[in-house]
Structure 1
């Protein structure tokens, strides 16, 4: 009996010591315990402010992913929490993948960024003017977006069940539309322009666009969950999307996004989104020369400077630091990537709540990091 009590006492001491050691743990992930707690508190407060169903956040410091975590619910009705395995749509953050794939071809001298895109993609009708790959990348092509001009869809039938998985056929969703302005005259954001850009990449790279993204971006960075969000495939851990209707939160639609893969059709978990940010910061995808060109603000024909580089938003913040970012907005999701390349820092945000401003999350996370 005495021996049993002694063993029990020893076990109790071990458990207590383990709890104390955990409480005193200097880091959680790659963050100090105090900073991790501050980040959690900041995210949870912003969730409350914006009435968020579910969100995931990833943090990069010194070029490494040091923290990633899910908060709230991936499926409210089934009470399934958001974890680092939860799959969120990238939405327009997919454009960064397309931009990188494009610039990798430029780096290989497989693509002339200033050549007429119709040399590679003659399926795109002649608009009476030259449209270049550069103008697609910096949104100066004049190609229509969703609601800034008339969108004309090509009327035809297809033999295959999911024709727009081929980015060339996806041009049928808008290629007959008139330009909204002459190329180079103004900045005019266009997802359709990036669909055309994905077709340019497919032709220049002589390989399916999705395959190029996987082999030249996903595999080198170890992005094991990054893939097209094809609705006809069973992709585990997909987040349920939510929208507001008359201030009531309800489930969103599972809209097919296969037709705009290069402009908004990829999906992954938060770890892969954060690892993509780290890959950008660590020059893992393109050379320094190409990176500088990609992250240089472009000018209009009249010399006016824009805040768009080649596929990225390029800004200098109030403290004079280079800030690179992109947002995504789509059914089922809102996303944001914002990095400071010279400081080797980054924050990525993914949520399943369509009304959310992800920029408020990235701002509050940076603030929590900087004050602890």
Structure 2
């Protein structure tokens, strides 16, 4: 009799868990549906009502081929979903494991790896960068006004350096090494990374400065960039789909498209400037990174950095308009609230990431089309559905 009662109790518990799981899945499904039907721009003209656009309709309107989304809620990935095509010609659809180019979001991942070397005592953020550069030295000139450039300057875009972004290279053409990129020597297609003003004065977005930090990382660690990042960042965070090099075209990768719907020549560009623009990844992997930042700031995780060094990484160095710039992280001002953020755009790709600094929610959107408006409308939709603190406060114009 006792065995029967025990079995009955176990069945009741199992059934309760089943009902709870079903309800949870149903609730999440309802939220996904709402997100898919609540896209809206932040500035609304010609109306006093907030529109609610459907994601597939907006994809057609903006010529967006594919998009992948990861939503963070309560410090966990609540859902991930892909839409459209990774390769329209082949009819290959986007799924949750499709790799996209992270573009400038590569910079925020780079800063995490760089700060690991700071935590290990291998780099002092406030020493001259030439202290750590071995295979190349930064050529100071009169423009820097005898002020040293530090790693803190590099990571916060306050080094006074040029080279805001990179165009990438066709896959079948010559690819420069990092020193060629820094010196602007063929086959590099970008200008030399040099001073345009004295360091430490103000914000000047510089992918070139980030590439200098890439060389510091490899010169200091004695490892290749990809090897170091895999061991110190990707593996601890279980970012299993993140890479800087594609071995072949059989991988589940998205092809790049322009805003008019035309495909990038050669399918996509390559970026040897790994730290600034070269990461291939998924929204799920970037969401794992964002959650680790949120937990480490609260002292609840230290898979890569301790709370002390994560806090230093998030400490603002310079201001840019209403935002604050930390070490590879932007504190983006949204209607009275700051969110940590980094967006990106490569040839045929755009992406966005926003996370709460203290409430455990966020979103990552990655697309294989050069259209920023669409991805930001998705961020707005997630914020509307999940009731984020003042993220979506529409502005109406006539």
TM over 0.5: yes
Please tell me whether residue 327 in structure 1 is matched to residue 343 in structure 2.
Answer: yes
Asked if residue 141 in structure 1 is aligned to residue 153 in structure 2, the reply is no
The residue that corresponds to 2:360 in the other structure is: 344
Could you state the TM-score of these two structures normalised by the residue count of structure 1?
0.80
Root-mean-square deviation (CA, aligned residues, Å) is 2.9
C-alpha displacement of 1:304:
10
What is the match of residue 52 of structure 2?
Answer: none
Tell me the equivalent position of 2:392. none
Instruction: Summarize deviations over 1:156-210 as a string: whole Å, max 9, x none.
Output: xxxxx7552xx45543446844421111122110111111111111122222221
Instruction: Name whichever of 35-44 and 51-60 sits farther off.
Output: 35-44
TM-score (norm 2): 0.75
Contact 2:100-2:280 within 8 A present in 1 as well: yes
Q: Does 1:27 align with 2:24?
A: yes
- Aligned match of 1:312: 329
* Corresponding position of 1:252: 264
Contact 1:187 1:306 in 2 (8 A): no
How many residue pairs get aligned? The number is 329
Alpha carbons 1:124, 1:171 under 8 Å: kept? no
> Structure 1 residues 256, 318: CA separation in 2 closer, same or farther (over 3 Å shift)?
closer
**Cα separation, 2, equivalents of 1:33 and 1:255:** 34
Return structure 1 stretches of 4+ with deviation > 4 angstroms: 167-170, 174-177, 303-306
C-alpha displacement of 1:271:
1.9
1:273 corresponds to 2:270: no
Counterparts of 1:346-365 in structure 2 under 5 Å?
346-357=362-373, 358-365=375-382
- Residue 76 of structure 1 is matched in structure 2 by 88
Q: Contact 1:59 / 1:348 at 8 angstroms: preserved in 2?
A: yes
Change (3 A) 1:369 1:279: same
**What displacement does 1:314 show?**
1.1
1:224 to 230, 240, 251: 240
Give the alignment partner of residue 240 of structure 1, picking from 247, 250, 255: 255
Task: Determine helix, strand or coil for the equivalent of 1:370.
Answer: coil
The CA distance in 2 between the partners of 1:309 and 1:218, in whole Å, is 22
Report the Cα distance in structure 2 between the residues aligned to 1:33 and 1:172, rounded to whole angstroms. Answer: 52
Conservation of the 8 A alpha-carbon contact between 1:281 and 1:344: yes
- Contact 2:165-2:208 within 8 A present in 1 as well: no
The 8 Å contact of residues 257 and 264 in structure 1, kept in 2 or not, is answered as no
Task: Output the CA distance in 1 between the equivalents of 2:324 and 2:292.
Answer: 22
Aligned equivalent of 1:39: 35
Q: Are residues 199 and 256 of structure 1, via their aligned partners in 2, closer, same or farther at CA, if it must alter by over 3 Å?
A: same
What's the CA shift string for 1:128-180, capped at 9, x where partnerless? 342110110010112212489xx9xxxxxxxxx7552xx45543446844421
Q: Which residue matches 2:47?
A: none
Q: How does 1:168-187 map to 2 (within 5 A)?
A: 168=179, 170-173=181-184, 176-187=192-203
- In structure 1, runs of 5+ residues without a counterpart are 1-20, 152-160
Given that 1:106 and 1:113 are in contact with CA atoms closer than 8 Å, whether structure 2 keeps it comes out as: yes
Question: Kindly tell me: are residues 104 and 288 of structure 1, through their superposed partners in 2, closer, same or farther at Cα, counting changes over 3 Å?
Answer: same
Relative to structure 1, is the Cα distance of residues 49 and 313 closer, same or farther in structure 2, using a 3 angstrom cutoff? farther
| Residues 182 and 104 of structure 1, relative CA distance in 2, 3 Å threshold | same
**2:286 is the alignment partner of 1:290:** no
The structural deviation recorded for 1:346 is 1.0
Out of 102, 106, 116, which is 2:128 matched to? 116
